[in-house]
Amino acid sequence: MVRAIHIAKGAGIIFIGSALGVCFRLVSKILIARTVSLSEFGIYSLASTIFSVIFVISLLGLEEGVPRQVAYFRKAKEKLNKIISSSIIISILSGSLFFSLLFLFSRQLSLIFGEDLEMAIRIFSLALPFSVLSSVFLAICRGFEKPEIKVYFSDILKNSIFVFLLLLVFLFRLSFFEVLLSYLISTLVTFLALILYIRKSIDLRLQVDLGEILSLLSFSLPLLIAIILGMVMAWTDTLMLGYFREAKEVGLYSAAHSLAGLIPIFLSCAGYMYVPVASQIYSEGSMKELRRTYQIITKWIFSVTAPFFLIVFLFPEVALYVFGANYVGASNALRLLALGYMFHVAMGLNGASLIVVGGGKLLMYMTLIGALSNVALNTILIPMYGITGAALATSSSYILANLSASLKLFKISGIQPFTKNYLKSLLMFIAFLALMSLINPNKNLIVVGLTFIAYNLAYLVFIILSKSIDFEDVELLQALEKRLGINLWIIRKILRI
């Protein structure tokens, strides 16, 4: 199963890039906070949030639709050229339209939020068309299964330029205007670099085909709605908590939500490569291979995520202590949120698979179910139970949305995550979790470390004794040996392969 390993390699590249991106963004925020006043930092944060929302809408779902279509029609050269041309034309028109609207209505937005946002929004708006085009260029590269391009240009180049310029602003004690200008310059430089790469690496003849433009929009717009509904699901609990309860509880919940949100990180990284690879498999009509790829990838993602989930679920007080002793009160909320996210991990890339098999509208409906249930449950549970109610509502809605998506995916394609070996791993995981919950160990770092080691050793022994090693697991080990240039004979000996 070479293509499953290809997905795993791509996920590793994206994970490294994401980690670097997070570090760069953290440094940039620190530099901005050290350079400008507290009020100006608040204006920057608010303006960047408004920009982010408009940016997502401006993409019209192309960031998910384009990779699927490019991968699916990769062997049909003329069709592929029309798809790429159409995606670029749409992004130029959309980026220009929303830039104009954001620039023209900057004063009105400033009045709505009661802050002096006009200058910040206008400078951010100048970056919008270039950001939209850059994202579409990256989506095209994603369709050609080149995850390293996102890492090089988006995670490293853009962020490093931004940090470098912010450092100059900080050292020379420049103004808030130069901070905003730094973001615009980093966006422009990244855009120009991407244009040079695209021209050099892709044989493109730009052509206007109205039918293809409408077809691409028809495929991508339901994905935009699904993305927006996903944002609603992500923000509803926090916003409604702020409406019904005190700001202190919002702070507690935000800490728990931030930690729980790390649980599906490997799932997200794998999804970046899964869509183009799985789309190509689907275009070949190889449904058996597609089902097997889904199952193997789900098992691998679950295996690497499980140890982190156990730490967060069994020792929420220790995990929350990174925010400070005052945040330990969010322990139950963290447990509930972790369960919801882990259920998503256990079910696999169901949403991505719906995109692959052309079920964008179905994904939209499944996400709508999750968003509506999230709003309804939060409305009922937050007034009664506070942050615990918010966590229960969000976790329940995630489980409901994932169940709906998984059932629909199985109905139309026969894709489901459960194999005999995966079910064995799930049972072992549940047994270990139940045992540790009964023991109720002390909450300190030593016990956390020992639990982490104990689970991994227990898992290793279990898969050997239960003969739960798949052929693809052996291939992955061989790929690791080749990639790292080392002989993992000890692991081979232990696993008896």
> What is the C-alpha to C-alpha distance for residues 9 and 13, in angstroms, rounded to an integer?
6
- CB contact at 8 A, 298 and 343: no
Is the per-residue pLDDT at 482 higher than 70? no
Name residue, tokens 């498999």. 281
Amino acid (one-letter) located at 65:
G
DSSP state, 326? Answer: G
Across residues 185-214, what is the average pLDDT?
A: 91
Is the per-residue pLDDT at 115 higher than 80? no
Percent of the chain with pLDDT over 90: 57
**Distance from the first to the final alpha carbon of the chain:** 17
Is the per-residue pLDDT at 155 higher than 90? yes
Is the per-residue pLDDT at 412 higher than 90? yes
At 236, the pLDDT band (50, 70, 90 cuts) reads confident
Across residues 249-267, what is the average pLDDT?
A: 87
Q: Which of 49-58, 81-90, 234-243 has the lowest mean pLDDT?
A: 234-243
Amino acid (one-letter) located at 430:
I
- CB contact at 8 A, 458 and 428: yes
Across residues 467-482, what is the average pLDDT?
A: 67
Cα 460 to chain centroid distance, Å, stands at: 29
**Left if phi > 0, otherwise alpha if psi is -120 to 50, otherwise beta: which for 285?**
left
Across residues 189-210, what is the average pLDDT?
A: 89
> What is the C-alpha to C-alpha distance for residues 146 and 152, in angstroms, rounded to an integer?
11
User: What pLDDT score was predicted for residue 472?
Assistant: 72
At 248, the pLDDT band (50, 70, 90 cuts) reads confident
Is the per-residue pLDDT at 490 higher than 70? no
Across residues 259-263, what is the average pLDDT?
A: 89
Helix, strand, coil percentages (3-state) for the chain, rounded to 5, are 85, 0, 15
At 112, the pLDDT band (50, 70, 90 cuts) reads confident
User: What pLDDT score was predicted for residue 245?
Assistant: 84
At 495, the pLDDT band (50, 70, 90 cuts) reads low
For residue 487, the SS3 value is coil
Would you tell me the crossing angle of helices 331-347 and 360-413 to the nearest 10 degrees? Answer: 60
- CB contact at 8 A, 18 and 265: yes
> What is the C-alpha to C-alpha distance for residues 104 and 14, in angstroms, rounded to an integer?
37
> What is the C-alpha to C-alpha distance for residues 448 and 313, in angstroms, rounded to an integer?
11
Q: pLDDT averaged over the chain?
A: 89
275 against 444, higher pLDDT: 275
Task: Identify which of 422, 421, 453, 454 has the alpha carbon closest to the alpha carbon of residue 435.
Answer: 454
User: What pLDDT score was predicted for residue 257?
Assistant: 87
Q: Which of 84-98, 304-318, 443-457 has the lowest mean pLDDT?
A: 443-457
CA angle 138, 139, 140 (to 5 degrees): 90
Across residues 126-146, what is the average pLDDT?
A: 95
Is the per-residue pLDDT at 54 higher than 60? yes
At 483, the pLDDT band (50, 70, 90 cuts) reads low
Cα 424 to chain centroid distance, Å, stands at: 28
DSSP letters of 231-268? HHHHHHHHHHHHHHS-HHHHHHHHHHHHHHTTTTHHHH
pLDDT tens per residue, range 350-360: 999 999 998 88
495 against 89, higher pLDDT: 89
Q: Which two tokens stand for residue 72?
A: 């699916």
User: What pLDDT score was predicted for residue 207?
Assistant: 87
User: What pLDDT score was predicted for residue 480?
Assistant: 56
> What is the C-alpha to C-alpha distance for residues 404 and 367, in angstroms, rounded to an integer?
9
Is the per-residue pLDDT at 493 higher than 70? no
Percent of the chain with pLDDT over 70: 94
Q: Which helix (H) or strand (E) holds 389?
A: helix 360-413
User: What pLDDT score was predicted for residue 197?
Assistant: 92
497 against 130, higher pLDDT: 130
Across residues 53-78, what is the average pLDDT?
A: 93
Reported pTM:
0.87
Across residues 11-34, what is the average pLDDT?
A: 89
Across residues 184-210, what is the average pLDDT?
A: 91
DSSP state, 108? Answer: H
CA R_g for the chain: 23
